[in-house]
Amino acid sequence: MGKPEERYNVLKSIYFLNRRMSWAHAVQGIDISRCFEYTEAYLQLSSIGRGQHILDIGSYRSPFPAFLIQQGYRVSMVDIDSSVSMQKVWIRRALGFNACFSIIIANGMHLPFSASSIDGVTCISSIEHLPGDGDMWMAREIGRVLRPEGYCFLSVPYMVTSKEGRWGKWFQRWYDMPSAVARILKPSGLFWISHGFLMGDTIGKMVDMWYSLPRIMRHSLSWFHILLFPAAFEKDRANQWDSRVLWMLLQKQDAALQKI
């Protein structure tokens, strides 16, 4: 985890970029959980050189792909929801018509990319919404399309004991460590480089209270989260026994190295 000041600077950049994407983005701001997840994803993937190709899975209306483009990455966005096509309008409004990216409406369980063709993958709170063995299928696909030595950042809802159920209108799975290994790591064929936890202790309790509010209220007030940081980064004391999100940094090992 980066220093609070470093994380806050990243969040501010995403926040102001988000405001330029559309009036709805400006009004709704950034979900409190994403404030933690976006900053962690960017810092963990900082070893991927500018100009390389990053695939963001479950992009929907996220400002994170636009931020990656702004930082100099080539970005492809994949989402099963056709409304992701609006990213073309939003990103060009925020970054101009020279922004280079691709948008693909597809199921993450069947990624339309050739094997070993992607330098990096981000999957931020997306894989948990696939019922049945959908998360395992997506994990396999991520492992397939990622190039050797490429990295993947995933974040998922976390609980000490795994469960599945409904989150609003969506199916959702909450992972514990054993289920994250069994359902994501092993099917992907990737190697576990590092992991961490987000939103624990006092911050976690505040987050629980936040998500107990009606959805329309959360969506109309999420713009003010920026006022809580960097204090929230400083006070986040998440651990395996008290957190709301698990993040994982995975890497594909070169096949030649596996034979040594």
Q: Which CATH number fits domain 4-250: 2.40.480.10, 3.40.50.150, 3.40.190.10, 3.90.1300.10?
A: 3.40.50.150
Q: How confident is the model at residue 259 (pLDDT cuts 50, 70, 90)?
A: very low
CA–CA gap between residue 260 and residue 156 (Å, rounded): 33
What confidence score (pLDDT) does residue 83 get? Answer: 96
- In b/e form, how buried is each residue of 138-152, taking b as 16+ CB within 10 angstroms? bbbbbbbbbbeebbb
Inform me whether the pLDDT recorded for 146 exceeds 60.
Answer: yes
- pLDDT > 70 fraction of the chain, expressed in percent and rounded: 97
CB atoms inside a 10 Å sphere around CB 52: 15
Q: How confident is the model at residue 2 (pLDDT cuts 50, 70, 90)?
A: low
Inform me whether the pLDDT recorded for 44 exceeds 50.
Answer: yes
CA–CA gap between residue 172 and residue 77 (Å, rounded): 21
State the chain's mean pLDDT as an integer: 93
Q: How confident is the model at residue 224 (pLDDT cuts 50, 70, 90)?
A: confident
Domain ranges of the chain: 4-250
pLDDT digits (tens, 9 = 90+) for 55-69: 999 999 999 999 999
CA–CA gap between residue 11 and residue 208 (Å, rounded): 21
Model confidence, pTM: 0.94
CB atoms inside a 10 Å sphere around CB 78: 23
What confidence score (pLDDT) does residue 260 get? Answer: 42
pLDDT digits (tens, 9 = 90+) for 132-144: 999 999 999 999 9
Inform me whether the pLDDT recorded for 257 exceeds 60.
Answer: no
Q: How confident is the model at residue 186 (pLDDT cuts 50, 70, 90)?
A: very high
